[in-house]
Structures are given as structure tokens and as C-alpha cells.
Structure 1
């Protein structure tokens, strides 16, 4: 401890020039206004709260003047200005800031609703640069948002990067809101069309792997999620049929009960035959017959895995069959499944359907599913000859985005 000649302790401070400048002229010096009271400080009288705020601003401007002539402190206040609210609150802004910057600095909502400004009592345009010491009052509307012109740098409405970010965020939120609304409308229309209006939207989103219904609506609104996937969820697949459940042979549309183009069982007349649902054979496929329980002879393609399994277990129930002949207009048609894999895009289903239409093939069923940009489609078409189907599949493969097309 150091004492003077009278024995009183003496305080000794050792600091650099930068430390001294910060202590004397920085934020730590503001305590002086509180201690000054009505006596004032540095020649400034602070009789009340309002006067104290004015004194702070005046002192800041005084520091700027004092330091502007010092070489080492040159530029300390060159990039900042200090203005006042109508309540005499000091607001720090970047140099060249406008009333819009001021409004967003005070409060984001004030900036969104800003429509006019008074500077020192006079109306000014919103892109007017503010100066040190001015009092700024913002005129607002009850509801509203920013103008896109504010983001135009050439018009000079915004200087602060923070204010510019707030304006962009507002417009992004509006776009998101519109996207969600568009997605919600599409999903609700789908539910109404499917007769599933009682289905809870939150439960639907959860089952599809989304955290909330809005997250689902957003991707649907952006066309990043196919409504076909929702349809697949709303339409559960048909239960797996037993091996002996088969599709009846679809006859010609001309009304004859027994066309001449059916399946013949070798050595047996007038025996009921059915085409197996698992492989859906069509002429001129190599076929085999299997005697089912109570449903006649089920006809399979010779390369059908189910047929080979049945033949291995019950060889005695396998019988030879062959295709009958057809003539004139009395031609039998056969349902055949075609599997298509493609990169999903708008209009893909339409383009593939047009190929079948041009080739005069009747499409009697379609199932589609799209996951992560890949679409899987199964078309059930009626053919008279499976050989012609191979030609049509070649045309389908040439459709843009189609990766493969094959008979199932």
C-alpha cells in the first residue's frame, strides 16, 4: 500500500493508452451521468430522465468531435450514427441508415408496418439518410408487411444487414404460408375424393413419416411429394389370395359365352378353365394346366414359379393344355400386367397411357407409387397376343424418364 505525506492511501493505476481511452470515453464513463444529478457533468445539466438521455447523446457527439482530430482514433465514429426516438431513447445505426432501418432496429413488427416517417417533426421519404442527433418518429398501419422495393439496393431503403435479413425472412414466411395452404388444399381434395374426410391430417402425416401436417403440406405444395403415395396409403392392398384363387378368363366383348380362342384341355371337352392371377398367361405363351379344387383347370405359364411348385407337390394334378384357335371378330382378350420403373415427373402417367392408346391396347387397371423421385407403375392391359406386347414395351421404354418396362 502506498501512502502520501499525510498518511492517506494513494490509488495508483497502471494502464495502456487504449485502456485509458476506453475507461475515459467508453461505455464505462456513462456512470458519471448518474452521479452528476442536477449538478450536471462536463457542463451538461441533467434535471430529469429525458434531459439525462439528451445529455448522453450530446456527450457521444462531443466525444466524436474530440476524437475526430486524433490520428490514432480517426474513424472511430465514422461508420455509426446516433438518433433519438420520440421518447428520447438513443438508437445506434450504421452511417447512411434510413427511417426503415430505424424502425426495424426498434422492433421488427414496427419495421413491417412502417409506412412513413417524421424527422425532427418534418415528413421525409423512407429512403432519406438520417443524421446524428435527429429525432425520428415512424408512421405505421395496423396490419401489413414490408415492400419488395425495400430489398432493391439501388433505391436505398435499407442499409442495415440485419434489417434486410428481417425483410427477407418476412417474404420467405409468406411464400411458405402459401405453399402450405396449396398443399393442404390438394390433400383435402384427395381425401374428399377418396371418401376419407374423417381421416385426421396429423395422423396421415405421421403415417407418411412427417413430423407434422404442415410439413406434409409443404412438400406437397412444392410438388416434391406425390399424391399417389397418399392414395396408396388410403387404399390398402388387396389381401393375398390363396394359390387356388384365380382370375376367370375374360372373353371377347362380342357376347359369346365360349369363344373359339380359349384354352383347350387335351383329351377333355367342355372343362372349365381359368387363367392364373399370378402369371396371367396369354397366347402364344407356353402353358400348363393344374386341376384346382372346385374351380376347374387353372392355366399357368410354364415358367411360373407357383406352377412349378404345385407340380412338384402334386404331379398327378398337372395336365397338358394348349391355346385354341380364334377367327374373325371373335377374338379373346387376356389381361397382362406390365411393370414400369421411371424417374418421376409431371405428365409421366399420361405419356405412358398414350403409348398404350396409340397401340390400341385397352388399359383396365393402373397402380402407381412414387418414393424419393422414383415411380413404380403397374398397368393391366388387355392383349390378344403377347408377342405384340413386346413391341409395345419397346415403345414405352423410349418415353422420357422411363428406365425399364417389362411384363410381370
Structure 2
């Protein structure tokens, strides 16, 4: 374990003006606070914070950050308090220690809730001071180095999975690639021990067979550049086991089929020499097409800059090469820590909340409703391969592979995503679900009257877009549930034997333990409280009297779904595909949207006891989707004739499936967008009158019946 004077000396070696007294106080305080505590390895617990501090001295971090590392477990694992840390070490150190501290003592219902709450607090603290992240990464790295001492295999796997999903991507995001690689390797060894052993064993065999091949290739690159006046430091290495395993799984190939196991780094004086070196290497060895990436002119989101290429070396090996200047190399080695200013203990250009990816994570915190959603969105935001796209003004936007214009719009600004109605990619109109390619220029078309569409959730890939859409859908669903609940509430009140008194609502809310009137309306719509219970709360004693039946009586006005959105407050049943004009009934189940069926739907006969019916009316509607079963004659022009009829009647085909064919006839299922029942009837009449159509029927049962016919 590092002694007190050794730690102070390591800091003073790169920062002569460091506050030695601060470091001494932190060392002594932490040593006394942890006392006789032991780690799983049997070592004194105090050895862990000192090792974390030692890791951070390698990054040349300031005295406040080193003090935070020494103290980072005192609030969590000892009797020390935040107020005590603040009094002895100042508010900035106290805030950082609090940010790193896990909330292991909170009362939570599940492991996911504890993990999400820890992550929430950590991300908020990180957005305030990025040094919190640097301490946390060093803390996690040392914990991974000592993971094998934990006896419980499930706990080891949980920590390794969390490291792989959260902390390794965070290290990559701040450019701390060595941290990322070591975390991934250690987590991979725990999560996939057989694959880890197999790959490391094969790497050893390859090393024995190839001898000094890495040294020979490095020497060859050095000589090539030296002959042209470029002094370069060239180093080579094998890729780490997790990187190799991921390529094997992504490409579905064996270890023997991998041809890019070796990677070389060329460090030169400046940017000009980077491009000169690239030209010389490409002139000497054939380049592998599609493997060149210029992160100098378009840096990664974390500031990483380098030229990446792959060439076929004379030894028939595919060699990946990174070319960078000395300044770029420092950034790549130390990431965010490379920009640290030691005098005031604050970064020269912290970014902090200025960093767009941190802003995105904090926005996700605001949008996530459940712990599972927070963890899902955070992993999505950090653990995806990236592409580059440009705004019309040339601003660079980084996105994950597979991103769409909606993802792009939300990456620029949430308001732009909310108002997106279309997109142009490289000047050409494309659908909003169109995948963006690397280097595309994207222009978002917007309208002030547009609102986010729930169906966008089916194709967006970024966490920011998904979180914003889910938040909109949740808010819209709650608003519409309140409106729908109010309609059912009026039905309940109409069935009571006497008018309500002035204080009836207030007393009902108290009896039902609900905070306000909106909560009651939402509970009625979701049927988390049944209608009889509401009636009894409004007028005690009415339950069981028969005065307020659980279903509306036939003579009452039907509840209108006018102004409500299909898929949000209610769902149109897929078994009967009701359209405006059909008489409809709503099936209400606990904590679910109302399911709308046609009154003659066969599926209603099989509804369980937990379902409750409500008589519904359409009101104004934008139309609906009807499913048709068509049999066409197997002759040229039949399909065109059918499509022509539909087009002439302004009906939009949403889906077309060929479900049966023989020599004489073809049978299709068609989902058709229609205005109302009268519109549908006109279409069916026109189809039945056509010579090409043998049969045209509306489907009122499950599709499986027709497929089995």
C-alpha cells in the first residue's frame, strides 16, 4: 500500500504547487475513518482508496481530485458525514465525494431501482463536475482488478456486466481508452471465461509462431518514414481479447479467419506529418478499401483525433495503423484528463454541462419514468458505434449506426425533433425512418403544428429520441385517460340514485386515497379502481344496492371517443378492425387502454371475467383500418384492376399479403385505410362488380382463420 509521503510526492512531481496539507488531511482522515475494515481480499479497506488515488496520479490530476479519491468511500462505508467532509475539505471536494458515493443504504424495491438511483445521482454530479466521473472510473477499474476476490459468482457477474454496459462506454466517451480496454478485458474474463481463455491461448500460440513479427513491421514503418524525413515513434500490439471476440461474433467468423489482430500506432510531430505519413504508408502497401477513417478533420465526440487505416503488409498480414501527432496522442492516452489545469483544481475547459453527450444523459434522467427505462436509455446512449452526419450549415452531428432523421433531429434539439414532418438527405426527400449513412447531409423539415408520433418509437435508435418520445406518449396518454375517465365518471354519476352533494368529490378522493380529481379520472379510465367502488365512495352505501350497475345501461348515451387518439387512450381491436360507422363497444381491463370492438365481433364472446364493457360512439374521426379478404382471378391485369379500384375510391393500402395461390385464383389479405363504414361499403361494392375479382369480403375474425383455410 502506498504511504502518505509517497502519494504526496507523486502529486508534487507533476504539480509542485499542490496543496500538500489537503492531501495529508485526507489521507489521515480516511485511514482513521475506515479503521479495521477489510476488503474481500483480506487487505485493509483503506488500501482501496489509496490505490484509486494512485491511478489518478498517473493521469496527473489536481489535488482536489486526488483528495476526493482518498475520501470517496468515507460517506458510504464509515460514520463520516457530508457536512463533516465539507467542513474539513471544502464544498467542492464534498460535492465530488457525494457524487461518487453509492446510495447502497437507500430503501428500494429492486436491484434495478438501486442501480438506477445510483446512476441517476452519479450522472447529475458528473454534469456538475466532470472530475466525479474520473474518480468513479478509477474506482471501478481498481474494483475490477480485485474482482476475483469476491466469493459470490453472481455478484461478480453483476459487477462485470455493469462495468461492460456503463463504465467502459463512459471511459470511451471521455477518451480514456486504456481504462476502457482494461475494464472490457477484465469484465470479459468474468462474463465469458471460456471464450477469454480460448482467445488468450490462441494469442500466445500466434505470438510463438510469428516470433518478432510485430517488431519487424514496426521497424519497417519507422525506416520508411525516416527515409522521407519523418521522425516517428512506432509501436505495435495485439488487440485485446474482448475486441477480438466482438469482431468474431459480429462477423460470424473464427479466430483463424481474423486478419487484423495486430494494430500499430505511429506518433509524429504535428498534423501535417500525420497526412504525409499516411500517404507514404498507402504508397508502400495496398490499402484495405473502406477501412480509412479521418478523425483528425472530424474528431470523435470525446475529442479523439487520429488517422485510422488498414494495409496489406508484405507478410500478407492485414495491419491496422493509427497515425497521430504528439498532442493527439496525449489526448488519446489521458482523454479528458489531458486538458486539466492544476492551479485552481478546475479544468481549463471542463465542458461539464457544455458537453453535448452529458447534456443528453441528463435529459434522459428527466424523461425516464422507471428504473428499467433509465438503465436502458443510458446504455443505449453510451454503447453504440457512431457515424457522422452534417447539418445544412456544416455542423457535425454524431449518431449511432442505423440512426434515422428523427434521431438526427432530436440530436440537434428536442424542439426540432418534436416538430419534424419530413427530411432531406443529401438534397433528396426521404422517409423519416430512412437510415442515415456516414457523411450524409441531413435537413429536417418542420412544422409548428406537428407533434411527436407514437409510431416513431418503432424505428428510432438513440436514447435521447426514445426518451423524448416516451415522455410525450406518457403525457398524452395521461391527458387522454383523464378525458376518457371523465366520460365514464359522468356515466357513474348519472346512475346514482340522487344528486351529489357539494363535498362528495372531496370525500370520495379521501376514501379512495387519491390526491386529486385528475388522479381519480385516470384511475377510472385505467380501471385501477372499479366503477362500483367510485359510486360507493361518492355516495356511501350504494355498493351492492343495484343503483349503479358495473356496465352502462343500453338506453344511456354511448361514451364518445371523439378527440382521443387510437393507440393511446384506446386501441382498435385487431380481430374485427372496426371503422367509423360500425357500432362499437369498449372492453375495459385493469390498467390498460380501452379495447374497441365492433358490436358483432366474435371475440367478445370469449372475454374473461376481469373485462368490463362500455357502450362507445365514434364522434368525429380521421378514419380507420379495414381488413379485406380478396380472391382474384389468376390472369394478367387482375392485381392492377384491383389497385385501380382502390385508387379511384381514394383508399390507401397499408398492407398487402398473398396468403394462397393456385392455378385459377390468388387470395390476398389487404389492410385498407378508409374514412368510414359507408366508404368501405362503396369499395366492396366496386370490387365485387369487377370481372377480375371473384370474392371481396370484410374480415371480422383473426387472420389465422384465413391462413388456415
TM-score (norm 1): 0.39
Q: Which has the higher strand share?
A: 1
Higher RCO (CA 8 Å, separation ≥ 6 residues): 1
Whichever of the two has the greater Rg, that structure is 1
TM-score (norm 2): 0.24
Q: Which has the higher helix share?
A: 2
